[in-house]
Amino acid sequence: MPKATHASLYWWVMGAPLVADLSDNALLAVTGDDAAQFLHGQFTNDVKALAPGRAQWNGWCSAKGRLLATFLLVRRADGFLLMLPAEISGAFAKRLAMFVLRSKVKISDVSATLGRYGITGDGARAFVAGHWPSTPAPLEAVENEGSLAIGLEGTRYLAWAADSSAVGTLLRDAASAGARERWDREAIDSGVPTIVAATQEAFVPQMANFELVGGVSFQKGCYPGQEIVARTQYRGILKRRMVVAHVEGEGRPAPGDSVYSAAFGDQSAGTVVNVASAPGGGFDLLVVAQIESLDRQDLRWKSPDGPPIRILRRPPLANAS
């Protein structure tokens, strides 16, 4: 009989959560005396109102009000941490640093210091409670010896933990491809979009329902693209919205793929945002599309006569907490 590992003994006693390896995301730290003021003037949410130990969905826009990135921002006693796809993190950090000027702000990639994991499933709450001082509520962060647990919706948690720590070792050993597939499906179901390289500058925040999940403050001051975002909100000019959808078949859609509707002929009616394998086959999607095409419910993937896309849910997709 093989020797039991620390991890296997823990799961046998406590019940196993599902652990997703999120190392394809990068973790950036923003520190310094001016960090809060600086980020407040760059991001879509009210960073100055974010208290230590709290998290918020946030975004960064181009001057034209188009999303360059969406991410979870966590405030700690000594600064901020944010997680976003590694494929865009280098350019993101470089561009953000261009605006620092004389501010006392340091931007650094700390991905090598803290592993990134998603924890979900029936054993998730018990696992978090057993390794952190308390179980975080949604958009709350708790720390234990430098490792963080952040509450999302339901029984989903993010963990940023050093691989050399006990909790980091447990999470690394337990991570599985199946857990990652479920994590991605649950992320789609939450209605929170993740901008990747293929969808940068494709949407103003409201197209991706980002204000509905609390990712935009309309009471704060200026930030890049703020005038366009505000005009979209208050003048009722929004023509696209995001939905949770499903497509059958073995061909996997990709972020940035076009979707079509008979109302728009050969012209694209929208864009795939995020994709995850569905447990019964096919793929679940976040799709931004023309509201007229959503009303017609005749979306197709890849071409005007491509596989039909079934709309599962229209906005609002989540509470703006």
Residue ranges, CATH 3.30.1360.120, the chain: 6-190
Q: Contact, 80 vs 35, CB < 8 A?
A: yes
pLDDT for residue 15: 62
Q: Distance between terminal CA atoms of the chain?
A: 49
Cβ-proximal residues to 214 (8 Å cutoff; 6+ apart), any chain: 45, 56, 57, 139, 319, 320, 321
What confidence score (pLDDT) does residue 164 get? 85
Distances from the Cα of 11 to the Cα of 80, 178, 205, 211, angstroms: 32, 17, 40, 38
Bridge partners (DSSP) listed for residue 47: none
Q: Are the C-beta atoms of residues 272 and 256 closer than 8 Å to each other?
A: yes
Task: List per-block mean pLDDT (blocks of 10 residues) for the chain, which spans 321 residues.
Answer: 42 72 98 97 98 98 98 97 98 97 95 97 93 96 95 96 90 93 96 97 97 95 94 89 97 98 96 96 97 96 97 67 31
Task: Give residue for tokens 């924890």.
Answer: 119
Distance CA 157, CA 149 (A): 7
For the chain, where do the domains classified as CATH 2.40.30.160 start and end? 197-313
DSSP state of 229: H
Cα–Cα distances (Å) from 159 to 39, 114, 163, 181, in that order, read 23, 9, 11, 17
pTM of the predicted model over 0.85: yes
Helices H, strands E: what count in the chain? 8, 16
Residue (of 129, 130, 85) closest to 111 by Cα position:
85
Residue 221 is predicted with a pLDDT of: 86
Q: Helix H segments across 191-281? A: 226-234
CATH domain 197-313 topology:
Elongation Factor Tu (Ef-tu); domain 3 (2.40.30)
Indicate the angle between helix axes 166-174 and 6-14, nearest 10 degrees. Answer: 80
pLDDT value, residue 316: 58
pLDDT at 90: 98
**CATH number belonging to domain 6-190:** 3.30.1360.120
The C-alpha torsion from 125 through 127 and 132 to 135, rounded to 10°, is: 0
Residues 6+ away with beta carbon under 8 Å from 9: none
pLDDT at 16: 81
- DSSP, collapsed to helix, strand or coil, labels residue 260 as strand
Q: Which residues pair with 106 in a beta bridge?
A: 31
Q: How far does CA 137 lie from the centroid of its chain?
A: 17
Minimal CA–CA distance to 72: which of 44, 113, 114, 109? 44
CB atoms under 10 Å from CB of 59, counted, come to: 26
Spatial separation of the C-alpha atoms in residues 39 and 221, rounded to whole Å: 12
